[in-house]
Structure 1
Amino acid sequence: MDKEIENEVLKDDDKNGKENEDQPVSNEGENQENDDIKNDNAGGDTLKEEIQGGNNEGEIGEESSNVANEENVPSSPHDLGKVSEEIDEYISTLSNSSKVEGSSPPEVPLSVEKFTTFIEALIKEYDSKDVPVRWDQLTDEDAATFLIAVDRMVKLLKALSEYSSEDKYPHSINTVGRILQRAMAYLEDEFRGFLEDHKVSEEDQNNNKSESMSKQPSTPSGSNQEGEKSVEGEHDHVDEKNTIFRGYSEETMENLYKLANILMDAGHETECCQIYFFVRRNDLDEKLQKLGFEKRSIDDVQKMHWEALEKDIVSWNETVNQITTIHFINEHKLSATVFKDHPSIAESLFSNLARGIIVQLLIFSEAVAMTKRAAEKLFKYLDIYESLRDLSSKMEGLLAFECSDELKSEALLTKGRLGEAMISIFCELENSIKSDSGRTPVPGGAVHPLTRYTMNYLEYACEYRDTLERVFKEHQKIETSDSTLSSDDCNSSNPSQDQYQNSFNNNNNVKKQQSPFEMQLVNVLDLLHDNIETKSKLYKDIPLSLIFMMNNGRYILQKIKACGPIRGLLNDTWCRKKSSDLRQYHKNYQRETWSKLLNVLINHEGLLVHGKVSKPVLKERFKSFNAMFDEIIRTQTTWVIADEQLQSELRVSISNMVVPAYRSFMGRFSHTFTAGRQTEKYVKFQSEDVEARIEELFDGSASNTGRWRM
C-alpha cells in the first residue's frame, strides 16, 4: 500500500512538471513567487501553534522556511495546519479501527510523509554536527513546538504499531521509528547535558551566598522585607540565582522535568533512568571524595595502620552525617521533582542511588569491625556504632520499605560485630590489668601509670555511657557453651550478674538492679584495686606502701566524682567503701610512721626518778626524737602526694598530732638543761621548727614511666 502511495506521488509530480513546462516564464511570475516566499517567511512565529492544533488559518511556521524547498514539506499555514489535522484524524482512525474485529486497516495518507519529512528536517537543524542547537538556546515556543511534534510522532508510531503483527505499514513504521529514534537521541543528549552541566556550581552558590549576606543590611529579627524569597527546608539552598537544588536553577529543573516526561512517554524509560542514575551516581561519588571518604576494599582496610585508619574513620563519620542530613535529602527532592509525574520511578531511582552509597559506607564499617581488636580502638568503634544507629533511623524515613529494610539488616549485622568487638575489648582491658605484674615500684609512691590509664580510659568510655549500656544489653556475652566470645580469660573476668549483686549489695537495700555495663565497670575497678594493692607490696617501707595506696585510691575517687557518667553508674555503697578504705590507709600510715616518735614524747617512764628529772634519760629522749624526726623528714620529703587536698590533709593531721605533743614535752622538760651550749646541743627544734619541717613533707617528684599512657 505504501508503494502505491509513492507511485501516485510521483505521477502527480510528473504532471505538475509538464504543466509548468507548458506555461511561459515571466518576470511577473517571478515577482509573484518572491512575494509568496516573503509571505511564507512572515509567518514564522506561528509554526508552533500550527503543529499543536493545525486550525489557525492564514499563519505559517518559521521552521517551514528552512525546508520550504524540500519535497513534500508543508509550505503554507493552511498546508501545515491541514497536515497536523490529518495526522490527528489518522491516528484516531487507526485506533478505532484496531478495536473493531475484521475491519480493514486504513491507507496511509500523504500527510504522514509530509509531517515526518518536516520533523526530520527540524531534527537535522537542531542536531547538526557543525552548529548544533542546544536545548537551552531554544525559545520557550520553539521548545514547546518540538516537544508537541515529538509527542504526535509517538502517538502515530503507537497507532501504526497496532498492526505490526499483520505486517502492515512496514515502511511507515520504519520511517517514523527512525526519525523518532533520532529525536529521542537528541533529547537524551540534552537531558544528560542538563544533568551534567550545572548552571550554578556549588562553589558559585557558596560565593554568591556569602556576597549576598555581606551586602545585605541587617534587619530586625523576624522581619520579612519585600522581595525576600522564602526557603522551603534548610537544605534547599535557594539564593538570588533562584537555585532550588545544589547546581540546578529553576529553569534547568523545568527542562529536566519536560525532557524526562517526553522520554518516558515515548517508551524510553530505561534510557532516561539510566542516564539519570549514572550522572547522579557520579555526582554523589564526587561528593564522597570531597568529604574525604575513599572507597576501600575489606582487604585494603585490614592492611592499613591504625593511625591512618583512624583518620579514615573520622572522614567516614563526617561523610555519613553530611550524606544523610544534606545530600540524600536534596537527592530525594531532585528525583521527586524531575520525575514528578512518575513517583514510583522517582522513589526507585533515589533508593538505588542511596543504596549504592550506603553499601559503600557499610563495607567500610564492616571492614573496621573485622580489624584486630585493641583497647585504643574502642572509641572509634563507638563512633561508628552511633553513626550506624543514626543511619538506620534516617534510612527508614527516606528509602522505600524494601530497600530500607535490607540496608537496616546489613547495618544491624555490622553493629552486632562492633558490639561484640567492644565487649571483647573490655575483656582484654581486664586481662591487661590482671597481667600487668611489673616488679618496679613507682618512685615516691605516686599514682601508678596503670591507674591513670585505666581511669582516663573509663572516663572517656563513659562519655558514651548510653551507647555502651545499649551495647552490653544487646550484645553481652551469655555464659553458655555456645557463647560467641571464646576467650577463657574473658569468661573468668565476667562474673555472673548474681555474683556482682552479692559483691556490692550485701545489705539487700539496693533500689535498682545493676546494668550489664555497670557490672563491667565495677569489675574493672575492682581488678585495678587488686592490682594496685599487689604493687604496694613491692615497697619495703610500709608507710610508703600506704602512701602509694592513698595516692591511687584518692586518684580513683576524684576521677569518679569529677565524671558524672561514672558517678551515675556506681552505687553509693561502692563509693563509701572506697572512702572508708582511704581513711584506713591514713590511720595506718600515721600509726606506722609517727607512733614511735609520739611514744618518745608522751611516755615519761624512766624520766622521773623520785620526782626528779633524770638528765641522762632526758638527753637520750631528745636525741631519739631528733634522730627519728630528721629521718622521717629526710625520707618523706622525697615521697609524692600530687593531690593538693590529700597532701594538705596529711600535713594538718600530722601537725595536729606531733606539734602539740612536742610543745608540751618542751614546756615540761627543756628548762632542765643548762642554758647555753647544753640546751643547743640537745634541743635541736623549737615547736615552730617542727611545724615548718612537717610542711615540707611529700614535696618530692617521681617520674611516671611505664607502658601505660592515656
Structure 2
Amino acid sequence: MRSIFFSSSKPSSPPHSHGSSSTPGSTPPLTPPHTFSVTMMEENIEYAESLVTMWDVDGPTYNKLSPLFTGDRKEAKDFLKSVKDLQAAMNFFASQNSSAEKMVRAQKLMQTAMKRLEREFYQILTANRNLQQDAESVLSRSSRASTRSSASDDDASDDEYQVAGNSVSELVMADLRSIAECMISAGYGRECVKIYKIIRKSIVDESLYYLGVEKLSSSQVQKMDWDVVEAKIKSWLKATTFAVKTLFYGERILCDDVFSVSEKIAESSFTEISKDAALMLFGFPELVAKGKKTPEKMFKVMDLYDTVSELWPEIESIFSFESTSAVRSAAANSLVKLGDAIRLLLSDFETAIQKDTSKTPVPGGGVHPLTRYVMNYIVFLCDYTGVLSDIVADWPLSVHSPLPESYFSSPIADESSAPAISERFAWIVLVLLCKLDSKVALYKDVSLSYLFLANNLNYVVSKVRNSKLKLLLGDDWLAKHEIMVSQYAANYERMGWSKAMSSLPTNPTISISIDTVEEHFKSFNSAFEEEYRKQVSWIIIDSKLRDEVKVSLAKKLVPAYRAFYEKYRGMFQRKVGVDSAVRFAPDDLDNYLSDLFYGAGVEGSSTSFSSAASARDQGGH
C-alpha cells in the first residue's frame, strides 16, 4: 500500500517495466500488469503468511500450543479474516493465470491455516462436551444474530462476538460457527465435518449409555424376568424425556447453528450423530409391547405410550429431515404397537374377571378379593384417562347388548373422548358386578348373601365416589348404585331377622293370656339368640354402612320389643336372665346389636348364648 500512495524521490520506472530497462526496439516481458488489485492480493498473502506462520501448529513459536480462540478473540478474528483474504487472493491469481509460485505459496499457507483451525475446532469441541444442555440460550442467541442481516460482514463479525459474550456457551458456539464457515468456504468442509461428527456422536452415544439405555433384541427382552424389564422401563422413561428435550434437541440446534452456512451439511451431520441412538431409544417400547402380556404390565406399557405420545410433537420437529424419517417411523410404530398391547391387556382383564373361578365364599360376607383387585386396578387406570381415551376412541365396545343409557352418565360427555372411555369403565364395573352376583350361590344363607352383595357393591361405590371414576361414570350412576346398596342392606335385615321380628305380636299392647305372652318371649329369645349366634361372625367392612345397618335394625327390633316388654314383664316374678322367660331387657338388645358386624365370633357355634355373649365381650370393637 505504501508503494502505491507514496511516490519515491527517485524517478519512477515506466509502466510495466518492473524496474528493468528496455532498449528501443526490444520486446517487453510478458508479465501481467502490476495493478492496484495485484498489489492488494500480494499483500493479502504476505499478511496471511505473517499470522498463519505465527500460529503454525508445526512451527517453533510458543503459539503452537496456545489456544487461538481465547480472551477477546481479536487475534482469532484477525486470523479468520486473513484466511478469508488469502482465499480471495488465491481465487484472484487463479483467474489471472498468475505464476505457479504464488499459487503454491498461497496453497501451503492455506493448508497450514486449515491445520490450525482443525486443531482449534477439535479442542473447542472436546472441551465443551455438554453444549447441548444450554440449547435454549444458544437458540436465543441465534435468533438475535439473525436480526443483523443489514450489517456489513466485518461489522456482523464484531457484533457476533459481542452478542456471544453473554454466556460461555454462546461464545463457544460463535467460535465453532466461525471456524466451520471459514473451513467450508475454503474448501475444507469435509475435514471440519468429520471432526464434528466423530466427537458429537460419541457424546450422544455415551450420554444414552450413562442414562441406562442399551441396545436390546426382542429375544433378550422376552427372556428377561418382568422385574428386570420393569427396571429397564423405569430407566427408559427417565432417559427419554432428557434425551428428546435436551440431548437430541440440543444437538439439532448445535448442528443448525455451527453449520448455518450449509443446510445440507447441518442435516447430514445431525443425522449421522443422532440417528442410530434415536432408533435404539425409540425401538425399546416396541420390544416391550411384543412381550408376554399380563395385567400387572398394563401400567408400565401405558407409561411408555404416554411418554412417546407426549414427546411426539418434539420428535417430529427435531427429526424433521427426510434423512431422519426412520426415527419418526420408529416412534410412531412404537405408539401403534403399544396401543395394540394396551387394547389386548384391557380385553384380557375383562376376560379374567368373567372367567374367575374362585369357589370359596368370603367369610362373614365381606369384600371379595376380586372386588378389591378389580376396583383398585380400575382406579389406577383412571390416572391414564388421556392414554386410554386415545386407545379406545376408535375401539368400539364389543358386547352382545349395548349398555343402557341409564347405566351411567358422564358430566364431561361433551368432550369427544369422554363417551368411549366412560362406556369402557362402566362396562368393566358391570362385568364385575355380574360376576359378584354369580358368587351369591356360594352362600347357603340367603341373608348372608345379601350382606355379601351390600358389602361388595358398597366397596365399588366408595371407590367410584373417592376417585376420578366419579367424573367418568357420573352422579346418576353413583346415586343409582347407592340405592342398590341400601336395597341389599334392607333385604339382609328382612331375611336375617325375620324370625325375631315375627315372634312378637303385631300389636304388642293388646291384652293376651300369660301363656301366650310366655310363648312370645320364648320364641323371641330363641330367634334372637339363633340369629345373633349365627351373625356374630358376619362383617360389614365400611364403618358408615355398618352403623347405618345397626341403627336400622335397632329401630325395627327394639321399639316393638320394648313396648311388649314393658307391658308384660310384670307377669313374671323372676328377674330377667337365662333362667327366666324374659331373658333380655330392651337395652340388652341394643348392646348385642351394637357388637355385630365386626367378624369377632365363630359362625355356626353350638355354645350357649351366654358363652357367645362372652365371646362377643372379649372380641370388642
Q: Which amino acid aligns with 1:588?
A: N
Please state if 1:267 is matched with 2:187. Answer: yes
**1:337-377 Cα distance to aligned partner (Å, 9 max, x none):** 43344455445544654544432321112212222112112
| Counterpart position of 2:587 | 688
Please state if 1:585 is matched with 2:488. Answer: yes
Supply the distance in 1 between the matched residues of 2:408 and 2:376 (Cα, whole angstroms): 29
Supply the distance in 2 between the matched residues of 1:612 and 1:116 (Cα, whole angstroms): 132
CA 55–244 in structure 1, closer or farther in 2 if over 3 Å, else same: farther
> The residue matched to 2:312 in structure 1 has which SS?
helix
Supply the distance in 1 between the matched residues of 2:523 and 2:129 (Cα, whole angstroms): 95
> The residue matched to 2:305 in structure 1 has which SS?
helix
Q: Which amino acid aligns with 1:596?
A: K
Please state if 1:614 is matched with 2:547. Answer: no
Please state if 1:647 is matched with 2:546. Answer: yes
CA 683–115 in structure 1, closer or farther in 2 if over 3 Å, else same: closer
Preserved contact between residue 121 and residue 176 of structure 2 (Cα < 8 Å): yes
Preserved contact between residue 126 and residue 133 of structure 1 (Cα < 8 Å): no
Question: How far did 1:556 drift?
Answer: 0.5
Preserved contact between residue 53 and residue 59 of structure 2 (Cα < 8 Å): no
Question: How far did 1:601 drift?
Answer: 1.0
> The residue matched to 1:134 in structure 2 has which SS?
coil
Question: How far did 1:437 drift?
Answer: 0.8
Q: Which amino acid aligns with 1:134?
A: S
2:126 maps to which of 196, 201, 220: 196
Please state if 1:667 is matched with 2:569. Answer: no
**1:509-544 Cα distance to aligned partner (Å, 9 max, x none):** x98797333332222112111211122211222221
Higher mean displacement: 551-560 or 324-333: 324-333
Supply the distance in 1 between the matched residues of 2:299 and 2:204 (Cα, whole angstroms): 29
Question: How far did 1:114 drift?
Answer: 8.2
| Counterpart position of 2:606 | none
| Counterpart position of 1:89 | 38
Question: How far did 1:549 drift?
Answer: 0.7
| Counterpart position of 1:435 | 355
**1:539-578 Cα distance to aligned partner (Å, 9 max, x none):** 22222111111110000011111123x2222255544443
CA 637–621 in structure 1, closer or farther in 2 if over 3 Å, else same: same
Supply the distance in 2 between the matched residues of 1:112 and 1:281 (Cα, whole angstroms): 38
CA 244–319 in structure 1, closer or farther in 2 if over 3 Å, else same: farther
1:376 maps to which of 296, 319, 334: 296
Supply the distance in 2 between the matched residues of 1:600 and 1:380 (Cα, whole angstroms): 59
Please state if 1:563 is matched with 2:467. Answer: yes
| Counterpart position of 2:430 | 526
Question: How far did 1:443 drift?
Answer: 1.4
Question: How far did 1:305 drift?
Answer: 2.2
Please state if 1:183 is matched with 2:85. Answer: no
2:333 maps to which of 413, 416, 423: 413
2:84 maps to which of 144, 151, 172: 151
> The residue matched to 2:444 in structure 1 has which SS?
coil
**1:617-641 Cα distance to aligned partner (Å, 9 max, x none):** 4334323322222232233221111
Preserved contact between residue 440 and residue 449 of structure 2 (Cα < 8 Å): yes
Supply the distance in 2 between the matched residues of 1:558 and 1:620 (Cα, whole angstroms): 44
Question: How far did 1:112 drift?
Answer: 11
CA 137–570 in structure 1, closer or farther in 2 if over 3 Å, else same: closer
Supply the distance in 2 between the matched residues of 1:56 and 1:91 (Cα, whole angstroms): 12
Aligned length: 547
CA 148–575 in structure 1, closer or farther in 2 if over 3 Å, else same: closer
Q: Which amino acid aligns with 1:438?
A: S
CA 612–662 in structure 1, closer or farther in 2 if over 3 Å, else same: closer
TM-score (norm 2): 0.76
Question: How far did 1:612 drift?
Answer: 5.2
Question: How far did 1:689 drift?
Answer: 0.7
Q: Which amino acid aligns with 1:191?
A: F
1:453 maps to which of 354, 370, 373: 373
| Counterpart position of 1:391 | 311
| Counterpart position of 2:439 | 535
CA 335–244 in structure 1, closer or farther in 2 if over 3 Å, else same: farther
Preserved contact between residue 395 and residue 404 of structure 1 (Cα < 8 Å): no
Supply the distance in 2 between the matched residues of 1:377 and 1:453 (Cα, whole angstroms): 15
Q: Which amino acid aligns with 2:122?
A: R
CA 655–308 in structure 1, closer or farther in 2 if over 3 Å, else same: same
**1:291-330 Cα distance to aligned partner (Å, 9 max, x none):** 4434434443333322222232222222232233334444
2:201 maps to which of 281, 294, 299: 281
Supply the distance in 2 between the matched residues of 1:672 and 1:649 (Cα, whole angstroms): 35
**1:98-152 Cα distance to aligned partner (Å, 9 max, x none):** xxxxxxxxxxx9x999899878854656556998423347774543444344334
CA 575–395 in structure 1, closer or farther in 2 if over 3 Å, else same: same
| Counterpart position of 2:398 | 494
TM-score (norm 1): 0.67
> The residue matched to 1:537 in structure 2 has which SS?
helix
> The residue matched to 2:584 in structure 1 has which SS?
coil
Supply the distance in 2 between the matched residues of 1:186 and 1:230 (Cα, whole angstroms): 25
CA 506–554 in structure 1, closer or farther in 2 if over 3 Å, else same: closer
Q: Which amino acid aligns with 1:594?
A: W
Question: How far did 1:192 drift?
Answer: 1.1
2:505 maps to which of 582, 591, 602: 602
Question: How far did 1:586 drift?
Answer: 1.7
| Counterpart position of 1:239 | none
Q: CA RMSD in A?
A: 4.3
> The residue matched to 1:540 in structure 2 has which SS?
coil
User: 1:495-510 alignment to 2 at 5 Å?
Assistant: 495=399, 499-502=401-404, 504=406
Question: How far did 1:155 drift?
Answer: 4.1
| Counterpart position of 2:614 | none
| Counterpart position of 1:707 | none
> The residue matched to 2:299 in structure 1 has which SS?
helix
| Counterpart position of 1:73 | none
| Counterpart position of 1:480 | none
Q: Which amino acid aligns with 1:151?
A: K
Structure 2 residue runs without a partner (length 5+): 7-33, 145-163, 602-621
Supply the distance in 2 between the matched residues of 1:579 and 1:556 (Cα, whole angstroms): 10
CA 273–628 in structure 1, closer or farther in 2 if over 3 Å, else same: same
Q: Which amino acid aligns with 1:667?
A: E
Higher mean displacement: 399-408 or 284-293: 399-408
> The residue matched to 1:438 in structure 2 has which SS?
coil
Q: Which amino acid aligns with 2:487?
A: Q
Question: How far did 1:662 drift?
Answer: 0.8
> The residue matched to 1:685 in structure 2 has which SS?
coil
Preserved contact between residue 288 and residue 319 of structure 1 (Cα < 8 Å): yes
> The residue matched to 1:495 in structure 2 has which SS?
coil
CA 543–355 in structure 1, closer or farther in 2 if over 3 Å, else same: same
Structure 1 residue runs without a partner (length 5+): 1-49, 58-84, 93-108, 206-228, 237-241, 478-492, 703-710
Preserved contact between residue 469 and residue 515 of structure 1 (Cα < 8 Å): no
CA 199–244 in structure 1, closer or farther in 2 if over 3 Å, else same: farther
Please state if 1:134 is matched with 2:66. Answer: yes
Question: How far did 1:163 drift?
Answer: 9.9
> The residue matched to 1:439 in structure 2 has which SS?
coil
CA 668–274 in structure 1, closer or farther in 2 if over 3 Å, else same: same
Q: Percent identity?
A: 28
> The residue matched to 1:684 in structure 2 has which SS?
coil
